[in-house]
Structure 1
Amino acid sequence: MTRVTTTIPFSKIKFIDKIQRLSDLTERLTQKLREIRIDLNHREPHRMADGKAQSIYELITDADTAKIRRRAMRYLERLHASTGTQHLPERDAALLTPLRGGLPVARIVTEHEADEIAAALHAEMPWMAPATEVVWHGLRASARRGLPGLRFDPLVLVGSPGIGKSFWARRLAHHLEVPTTSIDATGEPAAFSLVGAQRGWGSATPGKLMQTALRERHAGPIVIIDEVEKSGNVQSTQGSRHTLTDAVLPLLERMTAETWECPYYQIRVDMSWANWVMTANSRWGLPAPLVSRCIVLDLPDLTGSQLQMFVEAQGKRRGLPRVAIDATSDAVQRATAAGRTPSLRTVSRMLDRVELLAQRHVLQ
């Protein structure tokens, strides 16, 4: 099914299709003043000087021209200022065009719809039941309150590598029909990667959060931050520190997220409909301010039977032949019996390989 959406006023910037050039505006105002004075002269004929009629071009004095130019400049300055993008280069202002008219957010209309989403997700990954339950309650509350979009509490999923924490988040986004953006807290300057860098930094660029909104034309993505407990910080040449926690906290609070300012574009946007799923391998290292704003869930390791259930569900979803599903399940069972229970990541790669082989043509 196609999810119902609501368009929200994502930003207060204005789009003006065409702003006149200063020369065109001054000419227009000059012509208008000339017409007014000609009309007045027709109704009240002016006195001739030295027996000569005054030329229409003499109706506008140098003082008039200077005054017209000053007023035209003030008008254009205020017009540019009203857009909210007057500080941006023309190229960057053009990149904000997708925000014209607002952006959609996915909406949960009924509590039954929330039940169906949770049931489908639980059927795929039943060992992630604690996380699915939190989302389920958030979706039901969104429907019950008639919210224009969907919300659930920010999550930190704590568990061993390879149990499917990030995979679960992507499958959740699939069922909700919303885009995702992912940040690896250990492999990049995570704070800048998420929210962007201000102009003046050598690598100034918009962050993935804003890029996703512009690229997908959607104001309610799921943001996935992997290994959040290992995030470091970036220090500028002036000595200021920029941590991932400092970047995330204003976005986790709904009130501050509604008027969040993009560091790169320096415009305020409504990021309050973004939903957050963070993963960690242990609670050690999790910043206290982050923990206080999220629901932290400790997830158990996967068992062999749970992995076999995953193979069965994913095999059917991918349309794999029964023989391929059984062969993969047997391989998982043998590895588990030998004390080498594979991770969900390994099993997913096995399914990818099996799917590729199943689609390969055989030479006759």
Structure 2
Amino acid sequence: MSKIKIIQVQVLNTDERAIKKRLREFLRDLRKRNLAKELIGDDEHSADFDDGDLDLFKAELPDGGLTYKDEAVIANRVRCLISKRSRAEGTAHLSKEDLQRLSPKEASMKALTAPSEHWADEVAAALHEEMPWMGRATECAWHDLRRVARRGTAIKVEPLLINGPPGIGKSTWARVMATRLGLPMAQSDAGVGSAGFDVAGVERGWGSAQPGRPVNLLLDHRIANPIFVVDEICKAGVATSTQGRSFSLSEAMLGLMEPATARTWTCPYFRVAFDMSHISWIFTSNNLDTVPEPFLSRCQIVEIQEITSQQLHDFAVRRGTEMGLSQEALEAVWEALGRAPQVTGRRMSFRDVVRMLERAEALEGRPRLH
């Protein structure tokens, strides 16, 4: 594990009490030194004294007290100094609450690293065993993990766009991977009209001003390389303000996905630069036709086929066993999956299996009436 500077601000001392204490000590020391020089004098007898003698003589003098005027001058200088240092840090515009949350003194965050290529192999193998139909996505992540393990850099999966039918577990795959890697994860739905603001944040001056979820993810966990998932990027629209300004999620993502611009990306809310280049971006879609080409050119694109009945069965058995379901409950789930297409008139999806397993778990844990 290493540390990476994420919040791009200067960290200067703005502790009012500490600065006042230092100025008081400096003023007392300066006056004692001047008094020692006056007592020694500048005649022929004082020529034999050097700086060492002056310091010894100064140390024998009592500390002089500070007057009310001295304290007022010190307080005024401290206010000016703190104001100038805050402007130099680039945080003078922030409220105390925002500044406390931003915590510039903790600008460097922990970055999780891959222990070895063997570790990367084990993570990929476990991920593939749990969700084998997502093999192509797992393979992309596997290669990225082996590369960062060789380099000794922070764990990162290059921007990955998973395209495939709905309900096959694309988002779940990302969550399982985040768990296997031990990284925090957050998620946003591109189908929501305000998704662009949800990711990038809303600048000050708006009633809904707030930082974006990726920035919140960094500040909440203090981990430099989390995973962020954007669902259904194919449904991302364009949000328009009351003043006629448009804002597109796909356009907002370009600056966050490009390493050169992501290193100094400025948060619209905090108006402070963040290094966002260590975030692993995972996108899901059902159709690539509506995704802009500039966005596609920055992603690794993998196509996932429809999940088969056998893969659903294997997943249900494996996940149900991990949940502690009885054999009877697992058989009931599989029987329900077999009959469901005839009843509902549609294919069963990964989501259906998860819901059935959760329902079976709730029923098994429910107390019986006597």
Q: TM-score range by the shorter chain?
A: 0.7 to 0.9
Higher helix share: 2
Matches within 5 A, 1:98-177: 100=106, 102-147=108-153, 149-177=154-182
Residues in 1 aligned to 2:104 and 2:323: alpha-carbon distance in whole angstroms: 34
Residues in 2 aligned to 1:208 and 1:99: alpha-carbon distance in whole angstroms: 21
- 2:98 is matched with 92
TM-aligned CA deviation for residue 106 of structure 1: 2.0
Residues in 2 aligned to 1:109 and 1:25: alpha-carbon distance in whole angstroms: 45
TM-aligned CA deviation for residue 226 of structure 1: 0.9
Within the alignment, does 1:258 sit opposite 2:255 as a pair?
no
Secondary structure at the residue paired with 2:325? coil
Residues in 2 aligned to 1:94 and 1:347: alpha-carbon distance in whole angstroms: 44
Matches within 5 A, 1:54-69: none
Give the 3 Å change call, closer, same or farther, for CA 359–67 of structure 1 in structure 2: closer
- 1:19 is matched with 16
Matches within 5 A, 1:205-224: 205-224=210-229
Matches within 5 A, 1:257-276: 257-276=262-281
Aligned length: 346
Matches within 5 A, 1:174-185: 174-185=179-190
C-alpha deviations, 1:232-260, integer Å up to 9, x for none?
Answer: 12223443322111211111112221222
- 1:50 is matched with none
Matches within 5 A, 1:226-265: 226-265=231-270
- 2:39 is matched with 42
Give the 3 Å change call, closer, same or farther, for CA 30–199 of structure 1 in structure 2: same
Give the 3 Å change call, closer, same or farther, for CA 130–24 of structure 1 in structure 2: same
TM-aligned CA deviation for residue 75 of structure 1: 3.0
Secondary structure at the residue paired with 1:174? helix
TM-score norm. by structure 1 comes to 0.85
Residues in 2 aligned to 1:68 and 1:16: alpha-carbon distance in whole angstroms: 16
Query: Residue type of the partner of 2:97?
Result: R
- 1:76 is matched with 82
Residues in 1 aligned to 2:183 and 2:206: alpha-carbon distance in whole angstroms: 32
Q: Which runs of 5+ in 2 are unaligned?
A: 43-63
Within the alignment, does 1:330 sit opposite 2:335 as a pair?
yes
User: Which of 289, 293, 299 is the matching residue for 2:294?
Assistant: 289
- 1:6 is matched with 2
- 1:299 is matched with 304
Residues in 2 aligned to 1:76 and 1:120: alpha-carbon distance in whole angstroms: 53
Residues in 2 aligned to 1:26 and 1:151: alpha-carbon distance in whole angstroms: 47
C-alpha deviations, 1:129-150, integer Å up to 9, x for none?
Answer: 1111110111111111221x11
TM-aligned CA deviation for residue 361 of structure 1: 2.8
Q: Is the 8 A contact 2:201 2:212 kept in 1?
A: yes
Moved over 6 A (4+): 21-29, 64-70
Give the 3 Å change call, closer, same or farther, for CA 74–23 of structure 1 in structure 2: same
Residues in 2 aligned to 1:132 and 1:314: alpha-carbon distance in whole angstroms: 19
Give the 3 Å change call, closer, same or farther, for CA 76–18 of structure 1 in structure 2: closer
- Identity, in percent, stands at 38
RMSD value over aligned CA atoms? 3.0
Q: Is the 8 A contact 2:162 2:283 kept in 1?
A: yes
C-alpha deviations, 1:91-133, integer Å up to 9, x for none?
Answer: 1100123861621222112111111111111111111111111
TM-aligned CA deviation for residue 164 of structure 1: 0.8
TM-aligned CA deviation for residue 72 of structure 1: 4.8
- 1:344 is matched with 350
Q: Is the 8 A contact 1:153 1:295 kept in 2?
A: yes
Residues in 2 aligned to 1:170 and 1:349: alpha-carbon distance in whole angstroms: 17
Residues in 2 aligned to 1:325 and 1:266: alpha-carbon distance in whole angstroms: 53
Q: Is the 8 A contact 1:232 1:244 kept in 2?
A: yes
Give the 3 Å change call, closer, same or farther, for CA 81–36 of structure 1 in structure 2: farther
319-328 vs 202-211, which deviates more? 319-328
Secondary structure at the residue paired with 2:302? strand
Q: Is the 8 A contact 1:99 1:214 kept in 2?
A: no
Secondary structure at the residue paired with 1:293? coil
- 1:48 is matched with none
Secondary structure at the residue paired with 2:16? coil
- 1:320 is matched with 325
TM-score norm. by structure 2 comes to 0.83
Residues in 2 aligned to 1:336 and 1:69: alpha-carbon distance in whole angstroms: 77
- 2:52 is matched with none
Residues in 1 aligned to 2:348 and 2:96: alpha-carbon distance in whole angstroms: 52
TM-aligned CA deviation for residue 80 of structure 1: 2.3
TM-aligned CA deviation for residue 306 of structure 1: 1.2
C-alpha deviations, 1:46-96, integer Å up to 9, x for none?
Answer: xxxxxxxxxxx9x99x9x999978865553333323444222111110012
User: Which of 309, 313, 335 is the matching residue for 2:314?
Assistant: 309
TM-aligned CA deviation for residue 275 of structure 1: 0.5
TM-aligned CA deviation for residue 333 of structure 1: 2.5
Query: Residue type of the partner of 2:239?
Result: V
Query: Residue type of the partner of 1:118?
Result: A
Secondary structure at the residue paired with 1:131? helix
